[in-house]
């Protein structure tokens, strides 16, 4: 399994932001009313981030020898979950950021400003989920103490 890279995450995030902006501009240009991002997006992003950190911490304890009873398959699933959390987080950050960016020209309109706030709040929660996924994935590496230079010499569970 390949490790997360900043380049790949950046490309995915920028692509999602461009897509979100283009779709927003097309829909508002055709007269569609923008809707607020549901608050459940914020809750789901935060819960997924906490879950990734929780599972990642257990794998970290396993790798340090503090939790020898942890199943290796569970550790591998944790890595996959952490990476999925990071990718979904960067996609939601990009899409919500693009959505907010597409609505910025209507900032003076009160209801549209509330929609922008909801998109930015969702993007912030997704950023937390992204960071949690990255941290959890880093915790699931053999011989990694979190140093940036050790990415090539480590091995994922």
- Global pTM value: 0.87
Asked if residue 28 lies in contact with residue 102, where contact means CB atoms within 8 angstroms, the answer is yes
What does pLDDT average to over the chain? 90
Q: How far apart are CA 111 and CA 46, in angstroms?
A: 26
Asked if pLDDT for residue 152 goes beyond 70, the answer is no
Weakest-pLDDT range from 30-39, 65-74, 109-118: 65-74
Tokens 């209507």, residue located: 106
pLDDT of residue 149: 41
Contacts of 24-29 with CB under 8 Å at 24 or more apart are 24/98, 24/99, 24/101, 24/102, 24/103, 25/102, 28/102, 28/103, 28/106
Domain positions in the chain are 15-147
pLDDT of residue 147: 45
**pLDDT tens, position by position, 51-105:** 999 999 999 999 888 888 888 899 899 999 999 999 999 999 999 999 999 999 8
Q: How far apart are CA 115 and CA 93, in angstroms?
A: 15
pLDDT band at 156 (very low <50, low <70, confident <90, very high): low
């Amino acid at each position: 399994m390949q490790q997360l890279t900043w380049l790949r995450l950046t490309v995915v995030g920028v692509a999602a932001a461009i897509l979100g902006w283009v779709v927003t501009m097309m829909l508002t240009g055709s007269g569609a009313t923008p809707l607020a991002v549901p608050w459940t997006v914020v809750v789901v992003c935060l819960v997924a981030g906490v879950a990734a950190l929780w599972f990642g911490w257990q794998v970290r304890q396993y790798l340090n020898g503090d939790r020898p009873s942890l199943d290796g398959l569970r550790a591998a699933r944790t890595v996959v979950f952490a990476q999925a959390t990071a990718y979904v987080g960067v996609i939601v950050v990009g899409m919500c950021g693009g959505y907010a960016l597409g609505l910025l020209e209507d900032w003076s309109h009160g209801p549209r400003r509330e929609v922008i706030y909801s998109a930015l709040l969702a993007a912030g929660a997704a950023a937390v989920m992204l960071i949690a996924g990255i941290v959890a994935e880093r915790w699931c590496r053999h011989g990694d103490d979190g140093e940036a230079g050790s990415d090539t010499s480590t091995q994922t569970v």
